[in-house]
Structure 1
């Protein structure tokens, strides 16, 4: 039985993870830590940490996990280059899984997107459309970025150098080989993502619909438990599914 500590336990995802753990006979909630709490104390009580808080809390989470010698799953979105550098540094001594989405369905979708981008080549335009609830503060979503990175890997390119987003006004024609993003916000949508691959006279759409935040919580619990006992390194949700 893995004891899982929740960083950001008072947030939407933190509460969803706690609910999943409460109903899970195979794993246990070790407690939670939020703004103003010391994550080190929670880490000492846990076999693994999950962090769905905020980018500003990441350094404290990584320090606590390294001091306790336990793995951490990071689901916080809106991370910048310095956050990824900190994750890389931590992954030299502990197992770290960082992802923009813990859904098992989205994980498989990303695998399919990478395969499609590889097979179809740069002549097919790629556009990623996502919609979330009105309270979401970052765009494009972490999941949209994850899908864009999968497409970029399939093409052997860097996503940031080929991203098009926020089109408005007279933008000119679409850049060859670009990966486009469009973000919609409204209502209480848990998450809708579509990857459109548009070729000459044909189009493929790969989509995922999240009906409840519980799907992300279940994936986070599965991923955190999978990390326990692994060697130090940086992992992805694809590793959890063996893809």
Structure 2
């Protein structure tokens, strides 16, 4: 008898470039890629005046990857299937223009886009596949689904307040995640967040309008990201909270988005699509 062996076909790893490679989130993404079985770092990008330009992308981990951090966008994307971008709106838009030209897909964790910038990104999704979400954490996106359910069940008799806290370095407020929570709740209630959101209270504000959704923002220290939605009724209140203790959750969610994009050619997607929550 002749013994035979068989094995599953080898799947090539997903080649991933990281924007903002020397930043806090960039380094977390690079560390997650190094630990991944099916994703590999293929490019590392940073701004021209970054002191990390010209260094190995995994030097901070005490390893050599052979991937050099560069400010040359085309060079950084040359070997990439997907770009992961957690930078600033203007930079992300410039990156996406080149991604669309080169056929590179993208996972966008950047927040703070204007409506006009979001329209521009939607147009670019006709040329390549994009996953865009204000928060890549799997837990946060499950929380968003829970908020949708809660808002529908608590549609009358409950005041809704969203409280978020982040580190002192965050430049936009409220956070993109808090705004997404507000959008999910408003949509579930048949409201327009632009018309019902209240972003600050000071002085004699008068009695609370029950149709509004309030936002409160805290900035300080090294808080990674805390979000609480309060449904306050008469005699009871319900709080739905998500707390991040590490950016690793954002990195792992981003890699799930990379895997999802493998089967997509063009289009705009979010983490609900990635997680099958739609």
> Shorter-chain TM-score: what band?
over 0.9
The answer on 1:109 being equivalent to 2:156 is no
1:127 — aligned with what? 161
Count, aligned residues: 243
Equivalent in the alignment of 1:175 = 209
Contact 1:195 1:205 in 2 (8 A): yes
| Counterpart-to-counterpart distance in 1, 2:104 and 2:20 | 18
Bigger RCO (CA 8 Å, 6+ sep): 1
CA shift, 1:190, in A, is 0.8
TM-score (norm 2): 0.84
Contact 1:91–1:234 under 8 Å retained in 2: yes
Corresponding residue of 2:132? 98
Which residue is equivalent to 1:22?
A: 34
CA drift of 1:202 comes to 1.6
Structure 2 CA distance for aligned equivalents of residues 52 and 98 of structure 1:
10
In 2, distance between residues paired with 1:9 and 1:149?
31
**Counterpart Cα distance in 2 of 1:2 and 1:157:** 40
Give the Cα–Cα distance (whole angstroms) in 1 for the partners of residues 72 and 120 of structure 2. 19
In 1, Cα distance between equivalents of 2:156 and 2:118 = 28
Q: Which residue of 2 aligns with 1:8?
A: 20
The CA distance in 2 between the partners of 1:128 and 1:25, in whole Å, is: 38
2:30–2:41 Cα contact (<8 Å) kept:
yes
Structure 2 CA distance for partners of 1:157 and 1:231, relative to 1, 3 Å? farther
Where does 1:34-49 land on structure 2 (aligned, <5 Å)?
34-36=46-48, 37-49=71-83
Partner of 2:272: 238
Q: Secondary structure, in 3 states, of the residue corresponding to 1:126?
A: strand
Unmatched tracts of structure 1, length 5 or more: none
Q: Is the 8 A contact 1:100 1:146 kept in 2?
A: yes
1:70–1:228 Cα contact (<8 Å) kept: no
Higher-Rg structure is 2
What is the CA–CA distance in structure 2 between the aligned matches of 1:33 and 1:135, rounded to whole Å?
Answer: 21
Runs of 4 or more consecutive aligned structure 1 residues displaced over 6 Å after TM superposition:
none
Aligned-residue RMSD, C-alpha: 1.3
**Cα distance in 2 between the residues matched to 1:25 and 1:39:** 26
Query: Take 2:73 and 2:271, find their aligned partners in 1: how far apart are those partners?
Result: 24
Q: Name the SS of the counterpart of 2:76 in structure 1.
A: helix
CA contact (8 A) 1:7 1:39 kept: no
Q: The residue matched to 2:47 in structure 1 has which SS?
A: coil
Q: Deviations over 1:15-36 (max 9, x none)?
A: 1100110111211011211223
User: Quick check: 1:48–1:225 contact (8 Å CA) kept in 2?
Assistant: no
The 3-state SS of whatever aligns with 1:28 is strand
2-side partners of 1:30 and 1:208: how far apart? Answer: 33
Unaligned runs of 5+ in 2: 1-12, 49-70
8 Å Cα contact 1:123-1:177 kept in structure 2: no
CA distance in 2, matches of 1:40, 1:164: 42
TM-score with structure 1 setting the length = 0.95
Distance (Å, rounded) in 1 between the aligned partners of 2:159 and 2:262: 40
Q: Does 1:81 align with 2:115?
A: yes
The partner residue of 2:44 within 32, 38, 52 is 32
